[in-house]
Amino acid sequence: MAFFAYHGMAPTEKLQGQRFFVDVDLYLDLEKAGEGDDITRTVDYEGVFNTVKDHVEGKRFHIIEALAEAVATTLLAGYPVDCVTVRVRKPSVPIQGILDYTEVEITRTK
């Protein structure tokens, strides 16, 4: 998922904003959903997207670790998942050096 937002410590990050990329891995037993072709036994993917979007675009964090934690906590509380992994990538980091992005990855379970 890709978003434009205003997270960071530097004043320019807070004023100009930048792109953020978020990956979410959800872990739950999908056997019944797959066997029965039953949408009620899986996760609402659009809802997950909107939850992530609300956090990334609707809130501001100093560090991407806090963003990842907020997303993971909300997904665990609001969806029938046992475990979630959230990766947040920030490609435009104000660091003197050559790099593609900074990234954090967290995994949380119920």
- Catalytic residue check, 90: yes
CATH number of residue 40's parent domain: 3.30.1130.10
Detail the DSSP E strand segments found in the chain.
2-5, 18-27, 83-90, 102-109
Q: Single out the residue of 22, 7, 20, 48 nearest to residue 106, CA to CA.
A: 22
CB neighbour class for 84 (10 Å; exposed up to 12, middle 13-18, buried from 19): buried
This prediction has a pTM of: 0.91
Overall domain count for the chain: 1
At residue 30 the predicted structure's pLDDT band, cuts being 50, 70 and 90, is very high
CB neighbourhood size of 54 (10 A): 13
Which tens digit of pLDDT belongs to each residue from 71-97?
999 999 999 999 999 999 998 777 788
Cα-Cα-Cα-Cα dihedral sign, residues 25, 28, 31, 32: negative
At residue 107 the predicted structure's pLDDT band, cuts being 50, 70 and 90, is very high
Domain range holding 60? 2-109
Among candidate residues 14, 32, 53, 90, the one labeled active-site is 90
